[in-house]
Amino acid sequence: MSLADSTFADSLAQAVQATRSVTCVGLDPRKASLPPAITKDLVTSGAGSADAWAAAYTQFCTEIIDVVAGKVACVKPQVAFFEQLGPAGCIALGEVIRYARSKELLVIVDAKRNDIGSTAEAYADAYMGAASPWGGDSLTVSPYLGEDSLEPFVKVCDERNAGIFVLVKTSNPGGGFLQDRKTGDETVYQSVASLVRRLNETRLGKCGYGPVGAVVGATYPDQLAELRAAMPTSWILIPGFGAQGGGADDVKAGFDDSGLGAVVNNSRNIIFAHQRPEFKDRFQDGQWQDAVCAAVDEMNQQLRF
Ligand SMILES: O=c1ccn([C@@H]2O[C@H](COP(=O)(O)O)[C@@H](O)[C@H]2O)c(=O)[nH]1
């Protein structure tokens, strides 16, 4: 069945069940961390131009996709690293998104977009749905501009079987400055969670979840448990596992009794596994893909509760 035949929430449930994995592999290519096997070609061709780096990013990400396809439910390209290279990077981003989808991986585009409603419509069109060069299956969005700014994204979710993940409680240490602030009886993140719940609950798929999901950091396990209960029908994207300090115990509360309801992102500790001390000894420079494979297997194992 093609992914577009079912809702995003149902496709994600199917992908988690088929792969027996709640791991989301973050595609965050960084020049300084690419494996030497990839940058060597770049250096010997005398390049260093944005075009050459973009080609390296495409090669790196597509090789990762080859390793993880069938092992994980989804990937999350971080657009910042592609945008950093300018137009060539933006073309590479489109290639990576298309390649991941062709391998039946669901794509969460991490762009954290939003604006006033009429502009939000353009963002939704750009990042959600296969017709756009950057069209993924879902998009991270900011709630800062309020409900009317989220509505265009929800409309596109309905029209194209796409999904969104609204920033509710982010993984960074400074997120609480606004998110933990009280507005009347509740915090800002609790207000955003109520909005997510309301937008989502009339749109549930067969799996019991809807297209309007939430981002909640692994670095805040207590709030994750609270927010799981506050948004019982929303998929939760949990970043902050691995390099930011979150571990298996911290994300446990994100899941329902069937092991659904959340996917856990890990970018650096998977895609640059060749640099981790425990893998450095096991894998040679040219075996960076094997290190990625080992890191994914390890994370999948850790998250089989
Ligand atoms: O609250 C958030 C929202 C998004 N992110 C993004 O996830 C990855 C995390 O990368 P790691 O290497 O696994 O730390 C990255 O793309 C962030 O921009 C987040 O970390 N926290």
Number of Cβ within 10 Å of residue 98's Cβ equals: 17
Q: Which residues have CB under 8 Å from 203's CB, separation 6+?
A: 7, 154, 157, 158, 210, 211, 212
Does the Cβ of 251 fall within 6 Å of ligand 1? no
29 lines ligand 1 (CB under 6 A): no
Is the CB of 78 within 6 Å of ligand 1? yes
How far is it, in rounded angstroms, from Cα 106 to Cα 205? Answer: 17
Asked if residue 265 has its Cβ within 6 Å of ligand 1, the reply is yes
Q: Which of 71, 76, 112, 169 is catalytic?
A: 112
Q: Quick check: ipTM above 0.85?
A: yes
Q: Where are the domains of the chain?
A: 8-302
- Predicted local distance difference test score (pLDDT) of residue 239: 98
26 lines ligand 1 (CB under 6 A): yes
**Predicted TM-score of the model (pTM):** 0.97
Query: In percent, how much of the chain has pLDDT > 90?
Result: 92
Round to whole Å and give the CA distance between 139 and 261: 17
pLDDT reported for residue 47: 63
pLDDT at 40: 82
Amino acid 1: pLDDT:
40
Low-confidence ranges of the chain (pLDDT < 50): 1-3
Q: How far is ligand 1, taken at its centre, from the CA of residue 243, in Å? A: 9
Q: Is 8-302 a domain of CATH 3.20.20.70? A: yes
Cα(30) to centroid of ligand 1, in Å? 13
Distance 240 CA to ligand 1 centre (A): 6
Best of 84, 171, 269 for a ligand 1 pocket test (most atoms within 8 Å of beta carbon): 171
The contacts of residue 13 (CB under 8 Å, 6+ apart) are: 205, 207, 209, 260
Q: What per-residue confidence (pLDDT) applies to 5?
A: 81
The answer to whether 31 is a known catalytic residue is: no
**Residue (of 3, 12, 2) closest to 210 by Cα position:** 12
Distance 272 CA to ligand 1 centre (A): 14
By most ligand atoms within 8 Å of CB, the mutation choice from 23, 25, 28 for ligand 1 is 28
Would you state the pLDDT for residue 2? Answer: 45
Q: Whose CA is nearest to atom 6 of ligand 1?
A: 239
| Cα 108 to ligand 1 centre (Å) | 12
Predicted pLDDT of residue 285: 80
Distance (angstroms) between ligand 1 centre and the Cα of 172 equals: 8
Radius of gyration from C-alpha coordinates of the chain: 19
Question: For position 43, what pLDDT does the model report?
Answer: 62
pLDDT at 282 (0 to 100): 93
Q: Is the CB of 224 under 6 A from ligand 1?
A: no
Q: Which two tokens stand for residue 108?
A: 């969460």
Residue nearest to atom 16 of ligand 1 (CA): 78
